Amino acid sequence: MGVSSLEHIAWRDARRVRSLNGFGGYASADAFVWQPGAVEEICEVVSTTEGPIVLRGAGRSYNDAALMPEARALDLTTMNRILDWDPNTGMLLAEAGTSLRRIAEFALAQGFWLPVVSGTARTTVGGAVASNIHGKNNWKDGTFADHLAWIDVVWPSGERERLSPESADYWSVVGGLGLGAITVGAAVRLRRVRSGRVRVVRLAVDGWRDQFDSFQEFAESADYMVSWVDGFGNGRGVFEAAWHVHSDDLASLDPALQFAQPRTLSHLAQRQLKFALARPFARALAAARYGASRLRGGSSYKTLAEYHFPLDAWTNWETIYRPGALLQLQMALPAAAAKGVFAGWLARAQAERMEPTLVVLKRHRPDQATLPYLLDGYSLALDFRVGSWNQGALTAMLRTMMAEGLEAGGRLYFAKDALATADMAERSLGASAVEKFREFLNRRDPHRRLQSALGHRSGLLNGRAVSDV
Amino acid sequence: MATHPNYRYAIVVGASSGVGEEIVRQLAARGTRVAALARRKPRLEALAERYPTRVIPIEHDVQCREDLPALFTDLCGKLGGLDLLIYAAGIMPEVGPDEYDFAKDEQTFDVNTVAAVAWLDLAAQRFSGARAGHIVVIGSVAGDRGRMGQPAYNASKAALAAFAEALRNRLDRQGVTVCTIKPGPLATEMTAHLGFRNAMSASLAAERTLERAHRSGEFYLMTRHRILFWVIRHIPSWVFRRLNI
């Protein structure tokens, strides 16, 4: 034909503009949304058009990772098919827009489960690759990218390539925050399970030392570990270890049992639940949660979905943060420094009367990506409600905490971070990692077609080798 | 201090004098990035010099509409987004009591109404897709009745108000607000030849406009006007034509 078959589509038509948010609503930007139907269309568009493109899946990053003002937003959620499945090896090939929930439902029916999942099943395979997500089993099973046989990518030149973990660019694409390559599919090695349930042991822990001791104690045996920390306390909380159930339990593999129909918070409930975030109520609720676990610790059974994705039971739980937004700080700290830094953070938040609404502690091991965010140690994730009334003070406090974390050798998680400057990003990643990543970008995306507000903020998109005429 | 949302990106059409200029100044002072459009670019430069990172001066004649969609997209790109469009361009040529000059009247309609519709359509299309955004038109109390002094001006503002009302009804359920401001007599260049007494200053009008910019509805800027023009709107036509207002 000679001309593009897509020429009839006016990409920068005002009708395509959508107001896009990061999860929790802290970051937002308008973009021209484009939902491709096939990989060929992506190849054609990237090679025949100009201008910045931002990649977007479910939009579950807490920040500006899937946002770029006035760019074309390549929304891959319409490409959500499971393309291939081998029950003998457990290998599942899915398009990038496939949600973890869709894979989990499919896998359970076959007697399998995902090796690594995020705290919500709404995330997509593409997002899981771009952020190299981790779960409650990170210290022993690593990140999402550790369990892929290959990923299929489209380079900004329009060429396609299948990358295995042995190929040079694989570890730059995974964890690459959607820069440099468009991941269009991934082959995940699923794990066989005999039951759709986990046994959960819950322990009340009364301080930071107790927290870390619990992680040490269960690290050998447990399949999953996570701990909730009371934002108003001095490290007390509820530690949970969980194990897959190894007896045959076919009924528990029913996806309908695992994924109950999620409910939506009504406007009234949203308004009433806001009180739960107000300091006195939040303090009382946290104390009650801790107290209840002291009285009734012990062991219980949960379905895999219920255990991994507790908040997915509500479609819009994050709206209780409105009219403000949800802002999260998550950093991984080396094991030796973690206790001092985390205790300091909570003490600071309490002194400034800006306690986090939710605090979660996890154990980690280093990840292999070019842009690493994990290390041998612990991560603490703190949720805050941010609004016009506290934005200045809260972000200043969080930046101070980030500086303390970086000082202690910690790392930022760029699926969550909404505040880091380019200096902070470089300190977190290491200058050589940034240089290596820019070299990858210069080779694969010299014109920086793939952009994001995060990519600009963190300075990763800098250092362009060629300039556009 | 006025309470209103923090607009991040705004386009102000008709920004070189009067309320438009004041609106640009006040938005920029509060941190909004503003594309300020007017025919007289030199007049915009002062504002752009004062707020070099926030005010983007653009020379634009609202009567030249050929590449308007491209200009609109380009402006949104330069700003990094769009939350607010304010159409503040307007003319009121002097019309003698026995003057029936189509050229003058046509231009009045063209600037006050036709060009406004062109901009509002673009903004409405974008905002309805984004399911967010605020549109403000500077109408006039003069649009409330057809009066003997300014037939074309009255009719152009009346048409603008009706168009904005229709947009408001269309866009309300999509989370987009359309606000019609009806200033009374203002002390601006446009009205200098009318010699108003007790006219509201442009800066106060701009401040009150911005306070209302995120709301849907028609707004007078003074309680006195709201009452007075309620009465004027309800005077029967056969009485109105005998009055000298």
> Which ipTM was obtained for this model?
0.76
Q: How far apart are CA B93 and CA B75, in angstroms?
A: 30
Dump pLDDT digits (tens) for A80-137: 999 999 999 999 999 999 999 999 999 999 999 999 999 999 999 999 999 999 999 9
- Residue A388: CB atoms within 10 A of its CB come to 10
Per-residue model confidence (pLDDT) at position A2: 38
Task: Please give, rounded to a whole number of angstroms, the shortest distance from the CA of A16 to a CA of chain B.
Answer: 6
> How many other CB atoms are there within 10 angstroms of residue A244's CB atom?
16
For residue A238, which amino acid is it?
Answer: V
Average pLDDT over residues A33-44: 93
If asked whether residues A110 and A154 sit together in one domain, one would say: yes
pLDDT computed for residue A272 by the predictor: 78
Query: Whose structure tokens read 């029916």?
Result: A109
Residue B102 included in any domain:
yes
Length of chain B counted residue by residue:
245
CA A82 to chain centre: 21
Domain membership of residue A469 (yes or no) is no
Q: Which of A30, A68, A388, A457 to mutate to test the interface with B (most CBs of B within 10 A)?
A: A30
Q: What is the least distance, in Å, from the CA of A14 to any CA of chain B?
A: 5
Q: What is the number of domains present in chain A?
A: 2
Distance CA B157, CA A460 (A): 51
Is position A153 within any domain?
A: yes
Domain range for A389 is 197-245+269-421
Q: Is the peptide bond before A323 cis (omega within 30 degrees of 0)?
A: yes
* B39-60: pLDDT as tens digits: 988 889 989 999 999 999 999 9
Same domain assignment for residues A129 and A212: no
Instruction: Verify that A125 and A214 share a domain, yes or no.
Output: no
Q: By CA distance, what is B127's nearest residue in A?
A: A17
Tell me the HSE value of A86 on the side-chain side, using a 13 A CA sphere.
9
**Which CATH number characterizes residue A180's domain?**
3.30.465.10
Sheet of A72-75: strand order equals: A17-21, A28-34, A72-75, A53-56
Q: What is the pLDDT of residue A270?
A: 78
A223 lies in the same domain as A126: no
Residues in contact with B134: Cβ distance below 8 Å, sequence separation at least 6, in sequence order: B7, B83, B84, B85, B127, B176, B177, B178, B179, B213, B214
Each residue of B128-153: pLDDT tens digit? 989 999 999 999 999 999 999 999 99
- Rounded to whole angstroms, how far apart are CA atoms B89 and B160? 12
Nearest-Cα distance to chain A for B40, in Å, is 27
- Residues A280 and A391 placed together within one structural domain of the fold: yes
Same domain, A226 and A369: yes
Of B80, B129, B131, nearest to A70 by CB-CB distance is: B80
pLDDT score recorded for residue A3: 43
Query: What pLDDT was estimated at residue B193?
Result: 73
A347 assigned to some structural domain = yes
User: Environment class of residue B144 by beta-carbon count within 10 Å: exposed (0-12), middle (13-18) or buried (19+)?
Assistant: buried
Chain B residues within 8 A of A30 when measuring between CB atoms: 76, 81-82, 126, 130
- The arithmetic mean of pLDDT across residues A237-263, rounded, is 90
The minimal CB distance from B131 to the residues A12, A19, A29 is found for: A19
Q: Domain boundary at A192, A207, A225, which?
A: A192
What is the model's pLDDT at position B5?
66
pLDDT in tens, A271-320: 777 777 888 999 999 999 999 998 887 899 999 999 999 989 888 888 88
| CB < 8 Å to A12, chain B | 73
CA B3 distance to own-chain centroid: 20
Secondary structure class of A107 (helix, strand, coil): helix
Catalytic residue selected from B7, B9, B87, B153? B153
User: What pLDDT does residue A1 have?
Assistant: 37
Per the CB < 8 Å rule, is B132 touching A70?
Answer: no
Q: Are A210 and A105 in contact (CB under 8 A)?
A: no
What one-letter code names the amino acid at A47?
Answer: S
How confident is the prediction for chain A on average, in pLDDT? 93
Question: Is the C-alpha dihedral spanning B73, B74, B77, B82 positive or negative?
Answer: negative
Q: What is the pLDDT of residue A298?
A: 84
- Whether A173 and A203 share a structural domain: no
Look at residue B1 and tell me if it is in a domain.
no
- Does residue B172 lie within any of the structural domains? yes
Residues A299, A361 within the same domain: yes
| B9 catalytically annotated | no
Per CB-CB distance under 8 Å, the chain B contacts of A29 are 80-81
pLDDT digits (tens, 9 = 90+) for B1-41: 344 568 999 999 999 888 999 999 999 999 999 999 999 88
What does each C-alpha distance from A132 to A113, A118, A281, A402, B151 come to in angstroms?
A: 18, 10, 36, 21, 67
Predicted pLDDT at A187? 98
| CATH code of the domain covering residue B38 | 3.40.50.720
Q: Which of the two residues, A250 and A435, has the higher pLDDT score?
A: A435
Q: Is A350 domain-assigned?
A: yes
Quote the domain boundaries for residue B138. Answer: 9-240
Q: Are B92 and B191 in contact (CB under 8 A)?
A: yes
Contact flag A30-B81 (C-beta cutoff 8 Å): yes
| B130–A19 C-beta distance less than 8 A | yes
3-state secondary structure of A48: helix
Residue B67 belongs to some domain of the structure: yes
Res. A6: pLDDT tops 70: no
Residue A119 lies in a domain: yes
Contact B80 A29 (CB under 8 A): yes
- Asked whether residue B176 is domain-assigned, the answer is yes
CA distance to A270, B62, B109, B141, B157, per residue, from B160 (Å): 39, 15, 9, 12, 5
Report chain B residues whose CB lies below 8 A from the CB of A19: 130-132
Residue B197 has pLDDT above 80, yes or no: no
**Rounded Cα–Cα distance for residues A231 and A401 (Å):** 15
- pLDDT band, very low/low/confident/very high, at B199 (cuts 50, 70, 90): confident
Instruction: Tell me if B3 is assigned to some domain.
Output: no
Separation between Cα atoms, residue A43 and residue A371, nearest integer Å: 26
* Six-digit token string for B177: 């607000």
Q: Is residue B19 part of a domain?
A: yes
Q: Using 50, 70 and 90 to split pLDDT, how confident is the model at A469?
A: very low
Phi/psi of residue A165, nearest 5 degrees: -60, -15
Backbone phi and psi for residue A254, each to the nearest 5 degrees, phi listed first: -65, 120
Those residues of chain A whose CB sits closer than 8 Å to some CB in chain B are 12, 14-19, 29-30, 69-70, 388
For helices A391-407 and A422-429, angle between their N-to-C axes, nearest 10 degrees? 30
Q: Is B81 close to A15, i.e. CB distance below 8 A?
A: no
Phi/psi for A440 (5° steps) reads -60, -45
Give the C-alpha separation, A24 to A28, whole Å: 10
* Domain annotation covers residue A262: no
Specify whether the CB–CB gap between A208 and A343 falls below 8 A.
Answer: yes
| Position B148 in a domain | yes
> Who's near A70: CB < 8 A, 6+ residues apart?
A29, A30, A31, A32, B76, B77, B80, B81
- In this prediction, residue A7 has a pLDDT band, given cuts at 50, 70 and 90, of low
Higher pLDDT residue, B195 or A24? A24
Do A352 and A228 have their domain in common?
A: yes
* CA distances for A83 relative to A124, A140, B124, angstroms: 15, 29, 40
Answer whether B81 sits within 8 Å of A16, measured CB to CB.
no
Q: Is B218 in contact with B165 (CB distance < 8 Å)? A: yes
A389: domain CATH number? 3.40.462.10
Dist CA B20 CA A82 (whole Å): 55
Helix intervals (H) in chain B? 18-29, 41-50, 68-79, 102-109, 115-130, 151-171, 202-212, 223-234, 237-240
Q: Which stretches of chain B sit within 8 Å of chain A by CB?
A: 6, 69, 72-73, 76-77, 80-82, 122, 125-126, 129-132
Tokens of B64: 């030249």
Contact assignment for A14 to B73 by CB distance below 8 Å: yes
Residue A206 lies in a domain: yes
Nearest to A14 among B6, B125, B131 (CB): B125
Do A174 and A296 fall into the same domain? no
The residue type at A202: R
Residue A4: predicted pLDDT: 53
Are residues A203 and A314 both part of a single domain?
yes
**Number of domain units in chain B:** 1
**Residues of A with Cβ-Cβ distance to B122 under 8 angstroms:** 14
Nearest CB among A12, A15, A69 relative to B80 is that of A69
State residue A433's pLDDT score. Answer: 97
Residues of A in contact with B76 (CB under 8 A): 17, 30, 70
- Phi, psi (deg, nearest 5) at residue A19: -90, 115
Q: Which two tokens stand for residue B24?
A: 């640009």
Q: Do A17 and B6 touch (CB under 8 A)?
A: no
Same domain? For A283 and A395 the reply is yes
Q: Is residue A402 part of a domain?
A: yes
Residues of B in contact with A35 (CB under 8 A): none
Ramachandran angles phi, psi of A15, nearest 5°: -65, -20
Alpha helix segments (H runs only) across A32-186: 39-48, 100-110, 125-131, 138-141, 170-173
Residue with tokens 């306390």: A233
- What pLDDT sits at residue A142? 97
